[in-house]
Structure 1
């Protein structure tokens, strides 16, 4: 169906590493490679740096594509969208290739979605050269890859459809950040700064409903961790939770399914069998020690992780999640050349423990926030799958815009 579209070599369809002038010694927004998250369309500046001479140069809405292994294989490609007030030129890692729509030929947003086309990514990976572990894709190799070039109005329509799905995903991400910040702030308010107790001790209004405010004391007592609310106590992490070992599950033996598989730095795949019931908490053990991840569903933590099993002293997973984040467990390394977390050292850390009725009140406050986060996450997963299904069909012309719009409407997108 896209046979009437012309084709161009990618290097002719878009601008690659377009010229941008930056003044030496001046400060500009800078984007580091680690700031690019493959699951999000956009990336903003990481910081400001003085420009010397090196680094990729770009302007807002240019596409930044990693050219080095393993970043390219990990799909580190994003549009540069600056924060408000930073609309000028910027620079970043030397390992970025900068891609921009070519005037009169390609729309800039369409150019971004060309880089999301699996055929393009696979070609780029196949062109990598250099020593093992430091392979890079040369920009000139893109002269050997042809892309369909529909009319500019058609390009804009394609980019609009895909962009609308990405906009919804981005909105969900921002909403989740807000919800997570609300839950984290409540934990800090109640269990780190003890603000309800301080307010009552000074005869001030706590700002809480009476039934919740009545759960907090109006005085402090001394403890080995300093002043803590009267009636609360301290205990070791080892007495309130177990860091249970995950189980080996190599990628080659995983079966298609709906059970998320978690490694030390987050989800690494799917399987058809759970290791433990959710919700739960995964703690990085090797490779990324101390990374704390919340899991909403049944899950399979692999052998580079621990997962949390609460003990009777403290049954609130929500409380334990934020308590572990507040603990510096990442510094409790195992005696090994491989970065790892020694759980016996973690077990020795002390934690302030509130009474069960306070924990129950906390759970009631944050549970709806976590449920909404899960709903948003699931919606984004479905939207991403829809986008990834439509993208190659729209780019190749196998599916035209009106048909895609009907498909989205029928899918409830």
Structure 2
């Protein structure tokens, strides 16, 4: 138990506090990351949105406080006590009102320090020394070094750090995998439906073929068959255009496609069938050039805006699956709350819905919820819930909402000042014109992207299970309520449940 462990101040435990410069360098378009309080999130450093500074300022700011592996960055203001550890190899400069905590390794195993600053006893120390201000609460540097912490033996600290660090690493790995999966789906959508690469590949292939035919038989009308008589396109030209589109779709070379045809003829046939869905010409439209046979239509032809209102407070004892803006920003994990704690009205979330934030759309938030219980799923009215008219087309609708043209369309339908409360107009967004391909292509993309979405959903579910386990074990391990050997069985059970 922790009562058997020594209780030492940070100073007594050899944890040094290193203060930062109390000024802010000039921001640059490119440069080195300067970490401020907003970059401390859930015990990690999140560089998204970090200020970039010049090399000269970077070196200047690191002269006094140069973070090294396993240091803990601690906030003294705004959200005093919030912390994040410095992972291996991360080169950053520290912003105002942040300090470094660094262990000398004698009493505190350096990787263990990050977990000390996440536990309930740590927050009791924050509360004890907190200076309540009219605008911001704060901690004094001199007081932080007086924080008292229970310290198990170093050998025990290493085991605890390994257990919690291993779980946390898997959660982080899942997040990175999901980012890759999302980028893959977005890249395919952009290639097919924004840049029209398979169509342009066919056009280029036809032009090369015609040039070759002109050089070989300048008087022959055959070389113009694709333009004069589309219904009687030369079979060789058809094959070359299909191969060009297949290369654009798959990223494979012609030699690799030939090998695919030999070794996996069924995959080759499926790829050829997809390539055949793309036309070989462009046409003018009110949104510029689009592939021939495609149309410009309102987004409502693909998905409906569902703003069915729900009043959770009327069912105070029911547990709701709440998709809120803060929950999105906090790792895209819905909050589970009782109706009694939810005061305002919400929107119903359909199982196949795609949520797009109308609040401050210059910071895009698109959420593809993994709804556990449709009767209990609700979202903030700051979201626009779009439900695909054809449920199997959800991946296409998600790709559309996430795409740059759609996000630009949202920005064009914003009201409010340039401050922090700009909002898009949902009814206008719901009917804005979008480039719409034939249903067969929508289905082909959705079939391709659906496994990526399914993998993302599994990883999110697994991460939620692991995060709950980590957060449950943390206070128990730090207090000695549970020992390291006792944790193994829980880890085995969680591993089996999460399919790690």
TM-score band by shorter chain is 0.7 to 0.9
Alignment length (residue pairs): 402
Q: Name the SS of the counterpart of 2:3 in structure 1.
A: coil
Pick closer, same or farther for the CA change 1:201–1:341 going to 2, 3 Å.
same
For 2:383 and 2:434, how far apart are their aligned partners in 1?
22
Do the aligned residues in 2 keep the contact of 1:249 with 1:303 (CA within 8 Å)?
A: no
Do the aligned residues in 1 keep the contact of 2:112 with 2:161 (CA within 8 Å)?
A: yes
Shift of 1:33: 3.1
For 1:278 and 1:133, how far apart are their aligned partners in 2?
42
Name the residue aligned to 1:322: 399
Structure 2 unaligned blocks of 5 or more: 26-30, 206-240, 250-270, 340-346
TM-score (norm 2): 0.71
Could you tell me which of 454, 460, 471 is aligned with 1:377? 460
Q: How does 1:381-392 map to 2 (within 5 A)?
A: 381-392=464-475
Q: How does 1:357-372 map to 2 (within 5 A)?
A: 357-372=440-455
Do the aligned residues in 1 keep the contact of 2:130 with 2:139 (CA within 8 Å)?
A: yes
Name the residue aligned to 2:77: 68
Do the aligned residues in 1 keep the contact of 2:20 with 2:94 (CA within 8 Å)?
A: no
Q: Name the SS of the counterpart of 2:171 in structure 1.
A: helix
Within the alignment, does 1:332 sit opposite 2:371 as a pair?
no
Q: Name the SS of the counterpart of 1:361 in structure 2.
A: helix
For 2:19 and 2:146, how far apart are their aligned partners in 1?
22
Q: Where is the helix percentage greater, Structure 1 or Structure 2?
A: 2
Q: Name the SS of the counterpart of 2:245 in structure 1.
A: coil
Listed one character per residue, the Cα deviations across residues 87-115 of structure 1 (whole Å, up to 9, x for unaligned) are 5xx32221323222233111111100011
Do the aligned residues in 1 keep the contact of 2:19 with 2:65 (CA within 8 Å)?
A: no
Name the residue aligned to 2:198: 196
Q: Once structures 1 and 2 are overlaid, which stretch shifts more, 301-310 or 218-227? A: 301-310
Do the aligned residues in 1 keep the contact of 2:279 with 2:292 (CA within 8 Å)?
A: yes
Name the residue aligned to 1:206: 245
Pick closer, same or farther for the CA change 1:160–1:44 going to 2, 3 Å.
farther
Q: How does 1:76-155 map to 2 (within 5 A)?
A: 76-81=82-87, 90-125=92-127, 127-143=129-145, 145-155=147-157
Shift of 1:253: 7.8
Q: Name the SS of the counterpart of 1:181 in structure 2.
A: helix
Shift of 1:170: 1.3
Q: Where is the strand percentage greater, Structure 1 or Structure 2?
A: 1
Do the aligned residues in 2 keep the contact of 1:44 with 1:81 (CA within 8 Å)?
A: no
Within the alignment, does 1:293 sit opposite 2:359 as a pair?
no
Listed one character per residue, the Cα deviations across residues 60-109 of structure 1 (whole Å, up to 9, x for unaligned) are 3312233323x458xx53222366xx65xx32221323222233111111
Q: Name the SS of the counterpart of 1:178 in structure 2.
A: helix
Name the residue aligned to 1:283: 356
For 1:144 and 1:251, how far apart are their aligned partners in 2?
44
Pick closer, same or farther for the CA change 1:33–1:176 going to 2, 3 Å.
same
Could you tell me which of 52, 67, 71 is aligned with 1:58? 67
Within the alignment, does 1:270 sit opposite 2:332 as a pair?
no
Pick closer, same or farther for the CA change 1:144–1:77 going to 2, 3 Å.
closer
Name the residue aligned to 1:18: 18
Pick closer, same or farther for the CA change 1:245–1:68 going to 2, 3 Å.
farther
For 2:471 and 2:67, how far apart are their aligned partners in 1?
26
Pick closer, same or farther for the CA change 1:160–1:350 going to 2, 3 Å.
same
Shift of 1:397: 1.4
Pick closer, same or farther for the CA change 1:81–1:395 going to 2, 3 Å.
same
Shift of 1:169: 0.8
For 1:91 and 1:281, how far apart are their aligned partners in 2?
38
Within the alignment, does 1:223 sit opposite 2:307 as a pair?
no
Listed one character per residue, the Cα deviations across residues 233-272 of structure 1 (whole Å, up to 9, x for unaligned) are 0123355434343747689987574724323772562247
Q: Name the SS of the counterpart of 2:136 in structure 1.
A: coil
Q: Name the SS of the counterpart of 1:12 in structure 2.
A: coil
